[in-house]
Amino acid sequence: MSGINQGRHIAILGAGVIGASWAALFLAAGHRVAVFDPAAGAEDAVRKYIDSSSFTLEELGLRSRGTQHNLSFHSTAVSAVASAEFVQESVPERLDLKHALYAAIEPVLKKDAVVASSASGLRLSEMQAGWRDPSRLILGHPFNPPHLIPLVEVMGNERTAPGVVDEAERLYRSLGKVTIRVNREVPGHIANRLQAALWREAIHLMSIGAASVEDIDTAIWAGPGLRWAAMGPAMLFHLGAGQGGMAAFCERYAPSFHRWWDDLGNARLDPDTVAKLVAGVSDEAASSSPEVLCERRDELILAMLKATARIRQN
């Protein structure tokens, strides 16, 4: 992959929830996007998605309207990747599917093309097993929807060619993404595990009747969630004990945290728990449809991103 500025050839393999959003983002950043998705109606669905994401992308400072002349649809993965410098693979989370796709595209990829998988849970080493030479395959795991949420978790390993992860990070950053490196393979990478840890305790608290689903949700968005959107937990706690910083915080609060950690619960999504969650969310969602709630979620996230962009740049 040579320069990264604009006008690069990007291939999107799999254009469902995640791939369509990636396609919209790459297009809005000025790249040429070739899509392959075998589903009937995929082209219409992607074009609609791109139209519907235009407002958000333009609010984020990208140029989305009128970019569809840079978009092409292909009847095979081979044709979509033929001139691609960067491939974002977002096919379903099944190793057999991903391996079959890699076997098909590997012989025709440009020599210096980088392939990034959006996989949420599959390990990089498992995906590498589908390649003769996996040196240009990396993990590029976004958060849904990738055109809005900044985080991308990037990972290579000892089989990855030098510089490939750096190249991918530069490309993602040029799209406005915030990248982190995953240094060791763990199921769920980093951010999904953190979400899972929090959700486990949220479900435990609901199960023992400590609070309602709605109040537990409120406890996050109106409390620590708002702080976490500004800074991560380590930095926030560093600021939580005055001049003494993290060392003083740990000294002061170690007994409390040890007591709380020892008391944290466990959770399984068994039928009884799922029924309680469904009932709890139904109360919380009241009469709003998922579409209306999605719009509200994206509107709030967009407002926060826009309001904080200038401060983050300084």
Q: Which residues bind ligand NAD (CB under 6 A)?
A: 13-19, 36-39, 42, 77, 90-93, 97, 101, 118-120, 141-142, 144
Smallest distance from ligand NAD to CB 244, Å:
39
Smallest distance from ligand NAD to CB 121, Å:
6
Identify the H or E element spanning 11: strand 9-13
Q: Which is nearer to ligand NAD, 67 or 120 (CB)?
A: 120
Enter the tokens of residue 224. 């620590």
Q: Which is nearer to ligand NAD, 77 or 138 (CB)?
A: 77
Determine the residue with CB nearest ligand NAD: 16
Terminus-to-terminus CA distance in the chain, angstroms? 30
Query: What residues contact 34, with CB distance under 8 A and at least 6 apart?
Result: 9, 10, 11, 12, 72, 73, 74, 79, 80, 81, 83, 84
The HSE-up count of residue 235 (CA atoms within 13 Å, CB side) is: 6
Smallest distance from ligand NAD to CB 272, Å:
26
Other CB atoms within a 10 A radius of the CB of residue 37 amount to: 24
Q: Which is nearer to ligand NAD, 59 or 126 (CB)?
A: 126
Smallest distance from ligand NAD to CB 92, Å:
5
Q: Are 203 and 277 in contact (CB under 8 A)?
A: yes
Q: Which is nearer to ligand NAD, 60 or 91 (CB)?
A: 91
Smallest distance from ligand NAD to CB 131, Å:
16
Q: Which is nearer to ligand NAD, 100 or 309 (CB)?
A: 100
Q: Which is nearer to ligand NAD, 104 or 241 (CB)?
A: 104
Q: Which is nearer to ligand NAD, 13 or 205 (CB)?
A: 13
Using CB atoms within 10 A of its CB, is residue 165 exposed (0-12), middle (13-18) or buried (19+)?
A: buried
Smallest distance from ligand NAD to CB 222, Å:
24
3-state per-residue secondary structure call for 205-236 = HHHCCCCCHHHHHHHHHCCHHHHHCCCCHHHH
Which amino acid, residue 157?
A: N
Q: Are 107 and 135 in contact (CB under 8 A)?
A: no
Smallest distance from ligand NAD to CB 145, Å:
8
